[in-house]
């Protein structure tokens, strides 16, 4: 059973109808429930990594159940993203204590989860351009963390046949109240230069949640 009902409620609010969500406390996940195909991805992993992975797969199988699907293995693909059953799009994220998963039939979607804590100033230029930093109005460290979370969610919102690796400088994020816009500066994968994806943000139970659905 989930120990994070407030997080699940916030997740539901980030996404349109038809998206299933789940949250799972990492300490309550049982690595023994991993399927053989999944165990290959964490063979030799330290206990902490094993627990994170198990929590993410546990949440993902709850998403499958909500979508009316039988339990299934979600092995790791070449880019380390989970491989979902045919026809389904999904995304998994975790922080130190919590794993979340979202899924639906059809177009890609992405989710990310970060602690609602300020990032150190020396990391700001890694995740934000000078223009992005100038637009932030408030607690800069926490807002940079929100930008980072948004960019991670956008990165995850890629279909399995068009996934591309790209850096934080490939897109520009503008924060709004409970939302953000991400504009691509260059064409990468299925994204085109100038394309804008709109997403939503939530702050709940000490974490930042970011969600994007095409």
Mean pLDDT, range 25-34, rounded to an integer: 89
88-94: strand order across its sheet = 20-25, 98-105, 88-94
CA atoms of 102 and 184, how far apart (whole Å): 23
The confidence band for 29, taking pLDDT boundaries of 50, 70 and 90, is confident
When pLDDT is averaged across residues 85-105 and rounded to a whole number, the result is 96
Task: Look at the block and give the residue holding tokens 């800069």.
Answer: 140
Say what the pLDDT of residue 3 is: 61
Q: What is the maximal distance between C-alpha atoms in the chain? A: 48
Average pLDDT over residues 18-47: 93
Give the pLDDT mean for 30-55.
Answer: 93
pLDDT at 162: 81
Q: Residues 112-149: pLDDT tens digits? A: 999 999 999 999 999 999 999 999 999 999 999 999 99
Burial (CB < 10 A; 0-12, 13-18, 19+), residue 193, is exposed
| Class at the top of the CATH hierarchy for domain 112-213 | alpha beta
112-213 shares the fold of 5-107: yes
Nearest alpha-carbon partner for 131 in 185, 210, 197: 185
- CATH fold of 5-107 reads Ribosomal Protein L22; Chain A (3.90.470)
What pTM was computed for the model? Answer: 0.94
DSSP string, 12-39: HHHS-TT-EEEEEEGGG--GGG--HHHH
Calculate the dihedral angle through the C-alpha atoms of 138, 124, 116, 180, rounding to the nearest 10 degrees. Answer: 70
Mean pLDDT throughout 87-101? Answer: 96
pLDDT at residue 2, rounded to an integer: 53
Q: Which pLDDT score, from 0 to 100, does residue 27 have?
A: 87
Task: Supply the Cα-derived Rg of the chain in whole angstroms.
Answer: 17
pLDDT, tens digit, 9 for 90 and up, residues 48-86: 999 999 999 999 999 999 999 999 999 999 888 999 999
Evaluate if residue 158 carries a pLDDT over 80. Answer: yes
Closest CA to 52 of 64, 62, 66, 38: 38
Residue pLDDT, tens place only, 165-203: 999 999 999 999 999 999 999 999 999 999 999 999 999
Q: What percent of the chain has pLDDT over 70?
A: 99
| Domain chopping of the chain, boundaries | 5-107, 112-213
Q: Which of 97, 69, 98 has the alpha carbon at shortest distance from 85?
A: 69
What is the H or E stretch that residue 143 is in? helix 140-156
Please tell me the distance from the alpha carbon of residue 109 to that of residue 207, in angstroms, as a whole number. Answer: 20
The answer, yes or no, to whether residue 1 has pLDDT greater than 60, is no
């Amino acid at each position: 059973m989930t120990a994070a009902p407030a997080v699940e409620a916030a997740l539901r609010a980030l996404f349109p109808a038809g998206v299933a969500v789940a949250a799972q406390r990492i300490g309550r996940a049982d690595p023994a429930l991993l399927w053989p195909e999944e165990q290959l991805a964490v063979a030799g992993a330290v206990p902490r990594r094993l627990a994170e992975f198990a929590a993410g797969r546990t949440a993902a199988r709850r998403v499958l159940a909500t979508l009316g699907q039988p339990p299934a293995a979600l092995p790791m693909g070449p880019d380390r993203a989970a491989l979902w059953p045919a026809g389904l799009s999904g995304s998994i994220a975790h922080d130190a204590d919590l794993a979340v998963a979202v899924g639906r039939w059809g177009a890609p979607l992405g989710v990310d989860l970060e602690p609602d804590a300020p990032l150190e100033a020396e990391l700001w230029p890694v995740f934000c351009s000078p223009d992005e930093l100038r637009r932030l109005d408030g607690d800069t460290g926490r807002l940079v963390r929100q930008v980072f979370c948004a960019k991670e969610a956008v990165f995850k919102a890629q279909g399995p046949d068009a996934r591309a690796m790209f850096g934080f400088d490939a897109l520009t994020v503008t924060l709004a109240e409970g939302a953000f816009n991400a504009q691509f500066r260059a064409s990468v994968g299925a994204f085109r230069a100038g394309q804008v994806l709109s997403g939503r943000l939530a702050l709940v139970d000490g974490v930042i949640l970011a969600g994007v659905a095409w």
